[in-house]
Homo-oligomer: A and B are copies of this chain.
Amino acid sequence: MQLNQQTDFAFRILIYLAGHPRTARGETGSGVPPPLPKIREIAEYFDVSYNHLMKVANLLASRGYVRARRGKGGGLELAQAPEQIPLGEVAREVEGHWHLVNCFAQDTDCPISHGCQLAPVLGKALEAFWAVLDQHTLADIARLPPRDIPLTFHAVNR
């Protein structure tokens, strides 16, 4: 069982954006706001397809998780605080479908679909899976800076 690449990439983008400011500030050592990351930078960092990552970034933007800022120092940023992004919600939004087995699809042609209880039981298991993910937000999985460091990045989101 595997989450699809789209969800994998979505988590990577979000984790990268959540953790990026600290890394950038550490490297520059100055008080100048670090430039926001570009998609190409994130794709190179994870060594994944730029085009695929771009599609997922667009999907995340359409769902209100990230947004692009134009101009000097512009790039991609979180549109919500990491603490406000539940992981289960992201997964449900981004993963294409949750047909754990073929008979989850409405047009199943499985001859036992009328009586078999596998799909409902798997459905309950899936709910439990999501419930755990929804107990966690992006803040729990990304290495975030201590809250007492006033990052420009976070100020943008308030």
Contacts and interface: CB of A to CB of B under 8 A. Distances in A.
Contact of A87 (B97, B102, B115, B121): B121
Interface in A1-28: 1-4, 7-8, 11-12, 15-16, 19
A126 B142 CA distance: 20
A99 interface: yes
Q: Is the interface on chain A under 10, 10 to 19, 20 to 34, or 35 or more residues? A: 35 or more
B140 A110 contact: no
A127 to B, nearest CB: 8
Would you call the interface of chain A mostly helix, strand, loop, or mixed? helix
A12 B132 CA distance: 28
A102 B143 contact: no
Interface string A116-145: 111001101111111111001000111100
Given A2-B2, A3-B100, A8-B101, A140 B126 contact: no
Contact of A47 (B12, B15, B109, B117): B109
Given A11-B101, A121-B133, A125-B130, 13 more contacts: A1-B95, A1-B126, A12-B112, A15-B112, A15-B116, A16-B112, A46-B110, A46-B111, A116-B143, A121-B136, A122-B133, A128-B128, A129-B129
